[in-house]
Amino acid sequence: MANNLYDNVTARILAELENGSAPWIKPWAATPGRNIPHNAATGNAYSGCNVILLWMAQAGFATPQWLTFKQALDLGGNVRKGEKSVATIVKVLQLKGKPKDGETEGDTFTTLKAYAVFNIAQCENLPDRVINAEPAKARHDDERDATIDEFIAATGADFRDDVGGDRAYFSPSRDFIAMPAFAAFNSAATYYATAFHELGHWTGAKSRLDRDFGKRFGDQAYAAEELVAELTAAFLCAEFSINGEMRHAGYIEHWIKLLKSDARAFFTAASKAQAAAQYMRDRALAEPMAIAA
């Protein structure tokens, strides 16, 4: 069952990529305060691949608030008669098998459990605090954003602005990020999406999250790392309500190859990207964001 879930989710992502689009690239500035999928019952944000799955299901719904059939009932409401779930989220479970002869404990293994969820627009009789949550104010996307600049500075990264010439990059050997001048970008959104991408790479250094895909993905390790950086940027662009952009569109072909070779690769990349974004949040914010699944 778990293998089928891995295969099904990967097939959905592959279908988007093979159509030439990445489902994590969205015009976030148009929907401030409504970009992070979260559980309407707990208020907690979803994480990892569930964020992407819910973004894919978001079309036609005004808010990214989701809950299970039971959670709607627990809130005093209900899923409207005739409505069908348009999204399935997954949760990774750590389980132990039966001990082998002569052993006291069984091997630990992971499996997936699927949950059908409904958007609050598919429900009725939910409490006012759920259906009328106050949205955040829109951000101007043609000027530098002081809040985002403060966030970048608070990560502690050696972030060298206006020294990157005509390209942005992270130097692993010298442990710094180089960026072209702000004015060299087409918009503030392009600048910050690029900055978030490079910060994603920065988190993977041995002294930080120690991310190394070489042993698992071999010659596709670089494509896997680029996917992590892309998803990290997507998560942060959504959080700060700025339009996402793909840093390396040419990698779509490589990502298709990666996902076709390993049905769990996208789950791994999404999980690593969530950890990268959370690593930066933990450094920049007083309290880490709560995670639902």
Q: Is the confidence at residue 286, as pLDDT, over 80?
A: no
75, part of any domain? yes
Candidate from 2-6, 129-133, 227-231, 261-265 with smallest mean pLDDT: 2-6
pLDDT digits (tens, 9 = 90+) for 221-241: 999 999 999 999 999 999 998
Q: Is the confidence at residue 136, as pLDDT, over 80?
A: no
Model pTM?
Answer: 0.81
Pick 148 or 6 by higher pLDDT: 148
Q: Is the confidence at residue 245, as pLDDT, over 80?
A: no
pLDDT digits (tens, 9 = 90+) for 25-55: 877 777 777 888 999 999 898 999 999 999 9
**DSSP structure string for 124-184:** ES--HHHHTPPPPPPPPSSS--HHHHHHHHHTT--EETT-STT--EEETTTTEEE---GGG
289, part of any domain? no
Q: Which domain holds residue 14?
A: 2-284
290, part of any domain? no
pLDDT digits (tens, 9 = 90+) for 63-75: 899 999 999 999 9
Instruction: Summarize the confidence of residues 96-107 as an average pLDDT.
Output: 66
291, part of any domain? no
39, part of any domain? yes
139, part of any domain? yes
216, part of any domain? yes
Backbone phi and psi for residue 129, each to the nearest 5 degrees, phi listed first: -60, -25
- Percent of the chain residues topping a pLDDT of 70: 87
Which of 280, 31, 38 shows the shortest CA–CA distance to 154? 280
79, part of any domain? yes
Q: How many separate domains does the chain show? A: 1
